[in-house]
Structure formats: structure tokens, C-alpha cells
Amino acid sequence: MHTCHHCQRNPLHCFLPPHVLDRLLNADDPEIRRAAIAAIKQSAAARSLRNALSRMPAMAATASPAGKKNRLVYDMKNIDLQQLLPGTLMRSEGQEPVGDEAVNEAYDYSGIVYDFYLEKLNRNSLDDRGMSLISSVHFGTRYNNAFWNGEQMTYGDGDGQIFIRFTKGLDVVGHELSHGVVSHTSNLEYFEEPGALNEHFADALGESIQQWHLKQDVTQSSWTVGEAIMGSGVNAKGLRTFKAEKAYENDSLLGTDPQPKHLKDKYVGFEDNGGVHINSGIPNYAFYLTAMEIGGYVWDKTAKIWYQTLKNLNTRSNFQECASMTYQVAGSMFGSGSIEQQAVKTGWDAVGLSV
């Protein structure tokens, strides 16, 4: 799937990368192929809105009535017309759980994301002004994806075989909502290295949110992205992994995880907006190594260094700028030559970037 050039700068933020959907187009099962075609079609349809909203993220933010946590979850009733988003309101802030798991997961997990940003990073919602967290569930029929369109979250139910409902993973929800935080800070353009950093920050913050909620230290986490949404029809740890290993290898449907973990192996083609979902594996591995080197809880130090870095970068920042900035931030937060600053250096050195 080739992305149209005028959409490359700031397209839709989808959880499933194009290389996964492209691979599923070749599946033997016609239902799997149909689901892949539908997911690709929907991604393309929503890009124009995302492209427009990325230029003015503040305009896309729906203000919360009281400037604090405000969740609204809607049901799309398996309709895939994006013009009909957000759908029918099912649950709003303070209301009791309803008889729909996806609605309750979207509600609960977006609340955990809000709480993490407020309690750990002193940020009031995605825009730091109490932006309402709007989610639509049951988008499309067996829709294999979740996406942030600049205004809200949208979740498919999955096909039940390769992927199950996308609301089931807190790291998925954390990842997608964190794209909103990126939009309202550095607004990294969604192309080549800046785009891979955009995906990386969404992964790193999403993983931090999940570890915080589960009260895991860095040694207890699996460091796998999308573990909870993988269906029984594939042999995969998850969609991506922060570790040196592959999330999946020689799977009959997914193939082999293409993410590199070192700059020398960086993907340099045109697919996936210049490899935004692929090359995020390089900074992800640096983040993981830094967190392991510092130890303890990722949200205490490592995530704080990365979040401050995100605020200091700009739309066109590349891997080298990110590496240098994390080193600088760690020095200002914890002292020049501190264990934390040395850990950051160790992490980036391992992926081929010197600070």
C-alpha cells in the first residue's frame, strides 16, 4: 500500500502498521483478505481529516466542561462510515458501567491514561487543558485497527482470529491517546525519522502507562506492545517488542517482525511513510535499555526524561536530536554525570547513536 504523497506529512495514526495489513492481503483465507482491504480503505479515508487537524491541534481539542477528566464513549454499531463518528453515546464521565465490555474498557483505560499524565507528568489531559477524551467502539465489521484522528479515538473489534477487540489492550489505548500528547507538544511530522519518533513516543508512554497501572518494575514487564489484542490464530508475543528479540518470526499470517534495533539496519524505503512503524524499533530499544539500566519503576525517571524531551523537540526532530536531548534533559534533571544520564548514554550507544 503506497501512501499518497500529499498525506505523508501528518496522516492518520493507526495502531496496526501498513506492513501487517499488506501481509494479510496475501492470506489464503478470503475473510482475512477482506478484513485487510477494509482496514486499508478506512485508514486512507481518515487521513485527510487527520492531515488537516494536525496543522491546528488546538482546534481539534474538545474542551471538558470543568477543565478536568471528561470521558465520552460512543458506539458505532459496526458502521464504518467515518462521517458518522462518533456514533451513539453509551457512557459519559461518572456514569456506571454498561453491559458492553468494549465501552467499559475504552472508558476505564482512557481514565487510566488521564490519571497517569496528571499524577506522574503533571499534565491535564492530552492538550494540558483538560481536553475531553472521546472514544468510539465497534467501528466497522471485524475491523482490524484502532486510530487517533486528531480529535478522538476509534476502535475496531478485530476479526476474532488474528486480532481481538482493540480496547482490550491498555498499551493500545495509551499508545493511541499519547499520539494526542505528541500533537500538542512537539507535533513531530509523520514521515521518516520524525514520524518514527512520533510512533516511538506513543509506544514508550503507552508502555509506561501500562507498567504504572500494573505496578510493575522494569524487570517485571514483558515490554511487549499489543499483547492483549493478539488472537489465537497467530503465534506472536505481541505486535512489537522493546527488547532485542522479534515479536513474531515466520508466522504463517504475520511473517516476521521487521523492526530494526540498530541504526545500521534502519529501513530507508518509501513504504509506511518512510518506515515510521518500522524504525520506531530503534529508539524503543534505546528507551528499554535506559530503563533497565536505571532500574526501578519506568515512570519515576525514564518516562519523565522522555516526556520532557518530547516537549523540547520540534516537528522535524530526528533520532540524533532526540538522543542528544534525552542526555541533556537527564543531566539537568539528575545531574551531569549522574547514573541516570549515563544510562541514557548507554541506551543510545547500543543502537548506534552517540550523545
In this model, does residue 2 exceed pLDDT 50? no
Domain co-membership, 280 together with 322: yes
Mean pLDDT of the region 146-167:
94
Mean pLDDT of the region 124-133:
96
Domain co-membership, 281 together with 333: yes
At residue 75, φ and ψ (nearest 5 deg) are: -110, 125
pLDDT digits 0-9 by tens, 205-232: 999 999 999 999 999 999 999 999 999 9
Domain co-membership, 91 together with 130: yes
Looking at residue 57, its pLDDT comes to 57
Domain co-membership, 71 together with 14: no
Looking at residue 150, its pLDDT comes to 85
Domain co-membership, 23 together with 99: no
CB contact at 8 A, 176 and 109? no
If one compares 202 and 5, the residue with the highest pLDDT of the two is 202
Band of pLDDT at residue 4, cut at 50, 70 and 90: very low
Q: Is residue 181 part of a domain?
A: no
Q: In which residue are the cell numbers 477528566 written?
A: 69
| Containing structural domain, residue 131 | 58-169
Looking at residue 42, its pLDDT comes to 76
Mean pLDDT of the region 227-256:
97
Looking at residue 13, its pLDDT comes to 81
Domain co-membership, 331 together with 197: yes
Looking at residue 44, its pLDDT comes to 65
For residue 284, CA distances in Å to 120, 197, 340 come to 20, 9, 17
Domain co-membership, 200 together with 326: yes
CB contact at 8 A, 85 and 48? no
Looking at residue 58, its pLDDT comes to 55
In this model, does residue 60 exceed pLDDT 80? no
Looking at residue 197, its pLDDT comes to 98
Q: Is residue 296 part of a domain?
A: yes
Q: Quick one: cell of 281?
A: 524499533
- Whole-model pTM? 0.92
In this model, does residue 81 exceed pLDDT 50? yes
Domain co-membership, 220 together with 159: no
pLDDT digits 0-9 by tens, 259-309: 999 999 999 999 999 999 999 999 999 999 999 999 999 999 999 999 999
Contact partners, residue 257, CB within 8 Å, separation at least 6:
240, 241, 246, 247, 248, 249
- pLDDT above 70 covers a percentage of the chain that reads 90
Beta bridge partners of 240: 225
Q: Is residue 178 part of a domain?
A: no
For residue 215, CA distances in Å to 211, 238, 278, 289, 296 come to 6, 20, 29, 19, 11
Looking at residue 19, its pLDDT comes to 92
Band of pLDDT at residue 40, cut at 50, 70 and 90: confident
Q: Is residue 179 part of a domain?
A: no
Q: Which residues of 138-147 are buried (b: 16+ CB within 10 A; e: fewer)?
A: bbbebbbbbb
The single-letter code of the amino acid at 73 is V
- CATH number, domain with residue 243: 1.10.390.10
Looking at residue 53, its pLDDT comes to 53
> Which residue numbers are catalytic?
176, 277
Looking at residue 56, its pLDDT comes to 53
pLDDT digits 0-9 by tens, 89-120: 999 999 999 999 999 999 999 999 999 999 99
What mean pLDDT is reported for the chain?
91
Band of pLDDT at residue 5, cut at 50, 70 and 90: very low
Band of pLDDT at residue 9, cut at 50, 70 and 90: very low
As for how many domains the chain has, the answer is: 3
- CATH number, domain with residue 162: 3.10.170.10
Looking at residue 184, its pLDDT comes to 95
Domain co-membership, 251 together with 337: yes
